[in-house]
Amino acid sequence: MTVEQSDAQLVSRCREGDADAWNEFVERFSRYVYAICGRGFRLAQHDAEDVFQEVFARAFEKLPELRSDDAVRPWLAMLTRRLCIDKLRLLARDTTSEADPDEEEVGDVLAQLDDAMAVRAALDSVGDPCREILDRFFCRDESYRTIGDSLDMPAGTVASRISRCLEKVRVELDGRSRGSRPS
């Protein structure tokens, strides 16, 4: 297992000007911001890139003003959402496309992405080799064969490792869930 730093601890280090912390911050939230742009608002890749860079540029500027370090994820979600809507409105000025997306639909996607981030945090806690193998299979869509070739193991072993690693992540999530329940 790896020692996972909380969002609040990471934000605090960023605020102190720790360059490694900023790299970690971008690494931790890049998938989330990317998924909001793509899955939530279905932005084309080049429009998503504009929003993605703008989100991190504003995050870098505004992080010192964040009221609660724990609230960084919802704050980033709100910022990304707002910038995606601005982008869609800008695009709609030049085309006949709908400017504003279906709020309910976007809300559902964001709720799923929050759950996905919880799974991701559990996966980070479980650490490698499970993190690498599950990331390759589920997030990078690599085949058993490709993973096996890269990690030097038979494809059949990859399948059983994936299964065992999913079980580990489930146990980690159960532990977190029990820990967060009021006693």
Could you tell me the smallest distance in angstroms from the CB atom of residue 160 to another protein?
Answer: 13
Could you tell me the smallest distance in angstroms from the CB atom of residue 22 to another protein?
Answer: 6
Which residue, 89 or 98, is less far from another protein as judged by CB? 89
Which residue, 96 or 173, is less far from another protein as judged by CB? 173
Residues at the contact surface with another protein, assessed by CB under 8 A:
19, 22-23, 26-27, 30-35, 39, 49-50, 52-53, 56-57, 60, 112-113, 115-120, 123, 134-135, 138-141, 163, 166-167, 169-170, 173-174, 177, 180
Which residue, 35 or 158, is less far from another protein as judged by CB? 35
DSSP string, the chain: --PPPPHHHHHHHHHTT-HHHHHHHHHHHHHHHHHIIIIIT---HHHHHHHHHHHHHHHHHHGGG-S-GGGHHHHHHHHHHHHHHHHHHHHHHHSSS-SS--HHHHHHHHHHHHHHHHHHHHHHHH-TTHHHHHIIIIIS---HHHHHHHHTS-HHHHHHHHHHHHHHHHHHHHHHHHHHS--
Could you tell me the smallest distance in angstroms from the CB atom of residue 163 to another protein?
Answer: 7
Which residue, 88 or 134, is less far from another protein as judged by CB? 134
